[in-house]
Every structure is written in C-alpha cells, then in structure tokens.
Structure 1
C-alpha cells in the first residue's frame, strides 16, 4: 500500500469520526433545549431535532450539497453535485466526495438546530418541517457557497471562517432572531407593561448534560474541519476550542455573580457555548491567549444580548440569538483582529489580523462577509416564514400552546402522569 492510500484511509477515518461527533451534538441540542423549555414541551423539542436530522440530511443530499459545493457559477451558486451527481472534479481532497458530503451534512443539521430553540413552545410542527427544507436546501447552502466553495465570492475576497462562526452560527442566530420576531412571544412571557416574566427551565441538570455533549462534539466541529488526520494544527485547534469555552463559562460565572449577586446557571451554560461559537472561525489561526479573550468577550456579550432581547419583548427561550448570532458575529470579526501570519501560512498570503500587522484589510473583509451573511440569513428566513404562513399557520393555536405541544400536537407527554392524559382527552373532545 502506498503512502497516498494510507493518507486517504487515515483522513477518511478522521472525517467520518468527527462527523459522527458533530451528529452527536444533536443529542446535546435535544437535551439542552428540553431542559430549558417547560416540561409540557419536551417531546416537541425532540421531534424537531429528528426533523433536523431526517429532513435535513435528505434535502441536503438532493439539493443543498449541489448548491453549496457544486461547480461555481459567478461566485454565487453551485450548479452540479445534486444527488451527488455531475461534475465535482473541482473538489480536490484526499477523501471521497461521499465522505465529504457526510461531514458537511453534519454541519447543515447543526444550522437548522439553532433556529429550533428560538421558536420553541409555540411553532406549528408542519411549518417547522417546511422551514427545515428551506434552510437546509437553500438558505444555508447559498451562504456556504459564497464562503467555502471553490469560486465563492466571499472566499475569493479572503474571508476566513474556518469552521463557521459566521457561515453557520451568525447565519443560524440571525435566522433564529427573524423567526422569533415573526412568531411572537410565548403566552405569558411578557406582562402588559412589557416586563419579562420568568419562565423557569424544566430541568437544568438535563440542559447541563446537553451543553457538555455540545462541548464534546465541538472538538469534532472545529478539529474535524482540517479534513485531514495528519494536519499539524489539530492539537492547537483543540486547545483554543477548550480555552475559549472555559473562558466563556468562567467569565459568566464571575460576571453574573457581580451583576445578579449569584451565579446564574442558564447564563453560565450559555456562556460556555458562546465561547465555543466565538472561537469557531479562528480556532486554527489565533493564539491560546486570544482564544481566552474571545471566549470572555463572547460570554459577557451573550448576557447583554439576552437582556436586550427581553427589553425589546422578543422571546428566545434558549438564547439562540445571544449565543449563536452575537457570539458568531464577534468570532468572525475577531479573526480580523487576532489572526497570526504564521498560523495562516497554509491558506494564502496577507492573512494577518489588525493586531499582527495586517492593517484593516482582513478585518474589513470579515466585516463585509459578516454583514452579507447576517442580511441573507435574516431576510431569507423572514421571507420563508411569510410564505410558509400562507400555506400553514406558523404558530399553534392558543389551546395547544396552553396545554403544551407534547400533548396538543404530538399526543403524548414527555413524562407519563395521569393529569396529562386527562388534558389530552379534554382537548380531543373539544
């Protein structure tokens, strides 16, 4: 067996393994969101995660992958690769196209999962399926083509987004914001005066386990993006990922102790996730100390973003926008500040952040790309939900929301208790 075959085999094992780690993150999303929402909506969250995986994978196979990684058309869209067919010779890797699809499929499933939390406890299940088709088959693949494909116009300008702070998290976060605004707050979330009422999470230990699973999967998310088992930067990527997450969590512990006079568990959970989101764009290209700073800034920004949404009467039950939209944006911009030339040697010339002698060139490109992706994600989600609402209501009925989506929509409670079945029988008899 020659060295090329050995390299290909090792890379294939690495990419399949890390793709599986990313897919396991869906279990993390399920537990995190089920723990953050009320008990009567836990099954609904799980069902949406299954929609993400099942419909997301199929739609990305039939349409999304071709639009994202197919042969480029003027830097805007892919034109081959639908159903994994046509000319894909421009994808020059040591792994097969099927293996590459699997890894990218895990990414697209993560994108739609960001949106599910922001519309939890009140979205119509049919409408969510239709939006999943729109996100995985069109919205995300187009943005991904601009940044990551051979010939994409933002990538051509020099935008760096190693594992997707902008392309995945800012896109998903601002899509989540648009969806939350359109669908409106949960019943009882805000008083008539506009003050936010506390809706206690149903199970914080469950949410914590979900966060730990996401943290674990993030090593596959970031390190796996090397697409090579022998890439020398894997260790550095893993270290920056760990440090940013730890910094985000530690900062939120201290910051909430000062701000609220107690360490706030949901904020601490989301603080660690904010650090992970923030480091995703630059994990391969920034120093360990920069990773710590990025995690800390993202953790604090997440707290303020959460408070800001509530002040604007926007209901985001799991903090999807604050964690993904805000931290993803900060992470994309941080590359323009902290990218070190010796760490970016493998991706071209002139990739230095502002603090490492690169001037404002890279920062400007990062800002332009971020703004484009934000506008695209927000506006396309807004349009998609408006169109979907003409076919099916995007929000459940008042009775279904009050009873809970588990019983009202799916016909089964998460936890078998006699009163749940009594409520179900009463609902069916109306």
Structure 2
C-alpha cells in the first residue's frame, strides 16, 4: 500500500509541475501574438494570476470547490488549509492516490488557468488594476463554485454530466468570461476598418508563440495525465495517447482548412489548431479510443479556423484566438463525450448539453456583473494615448526589450525594403 501511494503521489506531483509549467507557455503565446510594446503588461498579468490564484485557492477556493457534504449548489468547509493529522503526522489515509497537500497543489494549478484565458483575450487595451480585481473575484469565487458542481460532487455530477479534465470546467469557464470581457471592452485601435472589415495586427514574435504552444502541449501531459488521479499504467497511457493524437489532428486540420480558405499556410492557425485539439479532448480523454481522439481533434481544428472568422465577423477583438480555442472548442469537447467513446448515447449527450448551458449562464452572468461593475466605476479601458504608446510605458514604466535591439530590428526591416 505504501509503495502504491508513493508511486501515485510522485506521479501527481510531476503532473502538478507540468501544469505549473503551462503558465510559462501561456505567457510566451500571449506576448508572441501581440505587440512588443505590451509585453511587460502581459507578463505581469500572468505572474499575478498564478501567485494571487494560489493564495486565493488556499484561503477560500479549495474549500469552496471541495466542501465535502453539501447541498450540491454551494458549500464551504472553512478558510485556509487544514490537513488531516494523526499524532502530529500527515494522515496518509486521506486518499489512496495522493496526499492532501498534493491534492490542493494540483487543483490549485488549474484554478488560475481560467483567468489566464481572459488575459490573452483582453490584451493590449485593458487597465491593469481592473483586471487584477476581476482575477481575484473570478478565480477566488466563481471558478471554485462552478467546479464544485461537478468535481466537488455537486448537482451536475449527480445529473451525470462528465468532464474528465476541464474542457468546460476550466476552458469554457475562462472562455465565457473572455467573450464578455471582449464585448464590454471593445476592439483595439486599428483592428477594424471603417467599413467593419478586420485588419491584421501582427504579433511581434511568432517563434516565441510557437515555443509557448509546445510548452502547453507538454504541460497537457500533466493536465490530462494527472486527472487520472493516480499512476494507473493503462489509463494514464491511454490518456496521454488520446491527448497527443487530438492535438496533432487539430493542428493538421486547422492548417489544411486555413490554407484552403485564405490561400496561405498560416502558422498561427496551425498553432491554435493544436491547442483546439487539446482543449477538445480534455473532457473525455479517458473514455476515448485513439481513433475517436483523432476525430475529435480534427473537428476541433476545423472549429478553431471557423471560430476565429466568426469572432471577427461579430466585430469582437481577440488578439490570441482564446475564445475560439477555449470557449468554442471547450463546448465541442464536452459535447463529444456524448457522441464518441465509452459514454456515447442520447442520455449522456443531454447531460452534456445541460452542463454546458448551466455553465454558460452562471459564468457569463458572473463575468458580466464583475466587469460591467468595474467599467461603470473605475473604468476598464486605457486611454487612446496609452494604447498607442503601449501599456508597458504607461502601466509599468519599462520596456521588455533594450532600445538597441529595437533599433537594430527596425533597421533590418528598412534594409529589407
């Protein structure tokens, strides 16, 4: 028993480290797909999200999300962490798969991800302080309450809703907040032409964005692999295979479709297709066959391309494609549990639709109340001058890159002309 517990717990701690590493991937992806004058601002937000998120999860979030016996809708088992002890030593009977501390830390790494999704969607024009307030409220209260309804043994769990690792509970929870924030915030200056057609605002470092996606893919080994909640060799291996195959299919199909539609091989679409495949498989990675995973990923990759076009058509400005990747593919992955794999069937499909609807109403309403409240009081958008100059200068008083490097890059561009 002790050997099994040790093996399971070590695997869970490794997965915790991989999920933590994903935050670097998110940071690289966001700064790579945006302009260099806002890089410090994006990095600051990402550091704030993970640090503040962990503290909030320790103070209130963990015990909101896993309150023990509760009415299925709202429960709270007290402030702070209170590990079970036996004679002053940690009680290892807490769980056969991992200790209390590992449970907290693994789940805490998930908690901050919802706000990170919003960070990318509102990049380059949202005030820092309102974003920080939003993060505190959304990560501290909204995410754990929503999570308790399924992972905490709440009413959606009783209803049969299934979400293995968070297509809805993490990605769509962040995605609903992202689309509300983008709608209330408005588009960046220059994103849409006077006739309403979208203009391109290229990111300043696509290789960095590429590195971010590869880091995220690696981190998903922990995100999905750790959600097995043990080192079970058969199930863990299957989850890693389905995760990787869905990612590969998502990238390939997004690349093919974007090339057919736009007549160029767009690397950013390829990268977002990979992420779409990862988000799509996350709800059912443990109940899918490899062929199911390829189909789910392929559809997710197609959805990403069409989703980005839809967001532009709605005149919503999402600099990194977070809404298409996390919200739309999150919904698709959740629905896919009722279509593919071991749980497929009408009753499961209805349960999945019901879960999506519940989270859509709760998360979008909560996000609207928080962000609209901030907009009506302290304001959420920087001034036109601040946006044009860059948030790094006005919000942080520093630049991400040395002036010499910027000058050299500018001269290289001029020379190439």
Same fold at TM > 0.5: yes
Number of residue pairs matched by the alignment: 401
For residues 91 and 292 of structure 1, the distance between their equivalents in structure 2, rounded to whole angstroms, comes to 37
Which of 52, 56, 61 is residue 55 of structure 1 equivalent to? 52
The answer as to whether partners of 1:65 and 1:82 remain within 8 angstroms in 2 is no
Deviation for aligned residue 1:362: 0.5
- SS where residue 382 of structure 1 aligns? helix
The answer as to whether partners of 2:84 and 2:94 remain within 8 angstroms in 1 is no
The answer as to whether partners of 2:122 and 2:319 remain within 8 angstroms in 1 is yes
**Gapped regions of structure 2 (runs ≥ 5):** 86-90, 408-417
Which of 135, 138, 163 is residue 135 of structure 1 equivalent to? 138
- SS where residue 396 of structure 2 aligns? coil
Q: Deviations over 1:104-137 (max 9, x none)?
A: 0110122211110000001111011111111111
Change (3 A) 1:419 1:294: closer
Task: Verify: 1:98 aligned to 2:92, yes or no.
Answer: no
Deviation for aligned residue 1:46: 0.5
Q: Deviations over 1:319-338 (max 9, x none)?
A: 11000000000000000111
Change (3 A) 1:72 1:179: farther
- SS where residue 219 of structure 2 aligns? helix
Partner of 1:310: 312
Q: Deviations over 1:179-206 (max 9, x none)?
A: 1111111111112211111101111111
Partner of 2:201: 199
When the two chains are superposed, the root-mean-square deviation of aligned CA atoms in Å is 1.9
For residues 420 and 289 of structure 1, the distance between their equivalents in structure 2, rounded to whole angstroms, comes to 47
Change (3 A) 1:60 1:250: same
Partner of 2:117: 114
Which of 19, 22, 27 is residue 24 of structure 2 equivalent to? 27
Higher deviation after alignment, 384-393 or 407-416: 384-393
Higher deviation after alignment, 77-86 or 47-56: 77-86
Partner of 2:75: 78
- SS where residue 315 of structure 2 aligns? coil
Partner of 2:414: none
Partner of 1:426: none
For residues 92 and 405 of structure 1, the distance between their equivalents in structure 2, rounded to whole angstroms, comes to 46
Partner of 1:167: 169
Task: Verify: 1:353 aligned to 2:339, yes or no.
Answer: no
For residues 201 and 118 of structure 1, the distance between their equivalents in structure 2, rounded to whole angstroms, comes to 14
Partner of 1:224: 226
Alignment of 1:317-328 (within 5 A): 317-328=319-330
Partner of 1:371: 357
Alignment of 1:146-161 (within 5 A): 146-150=149-153, 152-161=154-163
Which of 37, 43, 59 is residue 46 of structure 1 equivalent to? 43
The answer as to whether partners of 1:80 and 1:87 remain within 8 angstroms in 2 is no
Q: Deviations over 1:68-95 (max 9, x none)?
A: 0112421012321531139999974532
Deviation for aligned residue 1:296: 0.7
Deviation for aligned residue 1:419: 11
Partner of 1:210: 212
The answer as to whether partners of 2:83 and 2:100 remain within 8 angstroms in 1 is no
For residues 408 and 32 of structure 1, the distance between their equivalents in structure 2, rounded to whole angstroms, comes to 23
TM-score, normalization by structure 1: 0.90
The answer as to whether partners of 1:413 and 1:420 remain within 8 angstroms in 2 is no
Alignment of 1:374-385 (within 5 A): 374-385=360-371
